[in-house]
Every structure is written in C-alpha cells, then in structure tokens.
Structure 1
Amino acid sequence: MRIGRVTAMGTVAVLLLIAGVWASWSSVPYVMLPKGREQGSVEVTHCAGDTCTGPYTPVSPGSQARDRVQVSAVAVRKGETYSVVVKPGTDRVLRSGPAGILYAWAPLGGALLLASVVVAGGLRLIRTAWVLAGAGVALLTAAFAAL
C-alpha cells in the first residue's frame, strides 16, 4: 500500500513540476537567450484586457521598427517604455532583463508551491516540501517585486 501511495504521489509531484517548466518554456528561451533575436523597446500607448500595445523601436541590428506590437498587460504600464525581445514570426514582444526572466519563470513558481503540498501530504517528506515551497515563494515574490 505504501509503495503505491509513494509512486502515485511522486508521479503527481513530478508531473506538476514538468507542467510548470512546460508553461514557462513558451517565453523563457526568448527572454533568457536574447542574442541573435530582435531586441528593442516598446512605448505602451494603449491597454485593453490582458494585452497592451505600442510602437516598437529596434536596437539590435537587423530588427525592423513596427507601428504596433503586443505585450502582456501584467508586466507593463501605459505611458512607460520597456526593453523587449520580439517573439519570432509574431507581433508579440516579451519583456527582457531580470523582470522579464522572472515573469517568464512565474508558472514554475506556482508549480513548485503545488508540488510542495503533494510532497508534504502524499510523500510525507516535510523538509523537501519546505524547500520546494520556499523556492516557489522566492520565485513568485521576486517576480512580483521586479514587475
């Protein structure tokens, strides 16, 4: 009975962590490895719903100016200018720098918190659960403070 519980809860914890990395990975490579990508700045002029828009000004060689790009409204304020990286093949930009990196990894922070509950309750590994929870809280707090 114990082996079944440990196997099931271990699987759930690992799946939660994989899901957190998977959710983060749609943004992480562009933000953490910006060399060779279009980099520039965007001045946010309009926000509606969960996206904001504004003109894009390039700073990297080969990048083209755009009249309108989209950025997540969570990470920006209207009237401000932010350094960004363009997602290839889209008109979507992602914040770059430390704030962008922390924001990109935020889904992993939530997954760490969820996995800590499974590890504590299902696997009864209390110290490991505290480490997971601490890492999740640290990541989410840093992302909140940076934005």
Structure 2
Amino acid sequence: MKRNSSGRMLVHTRNAAMALVALLLLVAGFWSSWGTAQHILLSKGRDHGTLAVSRCDDDTCTGAYTPRAPAPDRAEVTIEKSVSVRKGVTLSVVLKPGTGEAVRTGPAGGLYAWVPLGGALLLSALVIGGGLRLTRLAWGAAGVGGALLLASFLAL
C-alpha cells in the first residue's frame, strides 16, 4: 500500500520536530555546562590556587583563598556547594575573572562542569530513540551521557 503525499509530509514534519527538540536539548546542555567549563578549559591567565572551605550555606560555601602565583590572598571566596564541597576541605580552584567566585579544577571539577551536558545527552537519547527511531544513535548518546554522569560521580 502506497502512502499518500500528506502521510509522507506528516512523517517528515514529525521527524523534523523531534530532531529540533533533540538539538535544543543538546544545545541547552552544552550552554549550561559551558558557563562553568570555560573557566576550567580556558584557564590560562586566570588566578589558580586553593580554597580552604570554612563555612557553608544552603547554596554556596566560602573560605580563604591562597593563590599559587604571586597574587593577593583573598579572605572570602565562594564556591557552589556540591556533594564534595564541605567545611574543612581544601580544594584546587580557579577564580572567575573579576569576581570572588571559584570553580573547582582538576579531573573532578572538569567532569562536574559537564554534568548538565550528560543529562541532556540522556534526555535527548529518549527523543532520538523514541521520536526519530534511530536506536543505535540513541544508545550511543545514552551511553556517553551515562558514562559522563558516572565518571563525575566517581571523581567527586
């Protein structure tokens, strides 16, 4: 049985909509990750040092910052609170330019910065597999996203 042209048009429209949703999820995950990851990946010329966490609130932790290179010490530097950031811990960090906000460096910080992209890969895998019916690509996206989330969990 042949499909009519309106049936083919509907299938193409559905596939285009699903591809757009998957692309939107991936771009949003990348953009959300890039806000933190850029400070780790493009850290040349930024202030590197250690942060001794002394106090934690609901969303942020603060502490004394000791730079690696000759630069002034800072009494109050903040970092986003996560599972591994707690009172009494000393972390290797890089400061965001022009602020007193720190971002964790090293393998754990780098993987943690890309967690939103890992989640976006998992979500887009559902759209790719269910909406576009590209099961191999969906399993690949889910595998990469899951591996990224697992690696960041183990590194923290």
Shared fold by TM > 0.5? yes
TM score, norm. by length of structure 1: 0.96
Moved more, 119-128 or 26-35: 26-35
Alignment partner of 2:75 out of 53, 67, 71: 67
1:108 is the counterpart of 2:136 = no
What is the CA deviation profile of residues 48-96 of structure 1, one whole-angstrom value per residue up to 9, with x for unaligned ones? 10211100000024x3210011011104121010100000111100000
Deviations 1:101-138 (A, max 9, x none): 10111100000000000001100111110000000100
For 1:18-57, what per-residue CA distance to the aligned partner results, in whole angstroms no more than 9, with x for missing partners?
0001001111111122221100000001111021110000
Unaligned runs of 5+ in 1: none
For 2:126, the aligned partner's letter is V
**Stretches (4+) displaced over 4 A:** none
Q: Which has the larger radius of gyration?
A: 2
Residue of structure 1 aligned with 2:64, choices 31, 40, 55: 55
Q: Normalized against structure 2, the TM-score is what? A: 0.91
Helix, strand or coil: the match of 2:15? helix
What are the within-5 Å matches in structure 2 for residues 28-47 of structure 1? 28-47=37-56
1:64-143 mapped onto 2 (5 Å cutoff):
64-74=72-82, 75-143=84-152
Aligned length: 146
Q: Distance in 1 between matches of 2:114 and 2:69?
A: 24
RMSD: 0.9
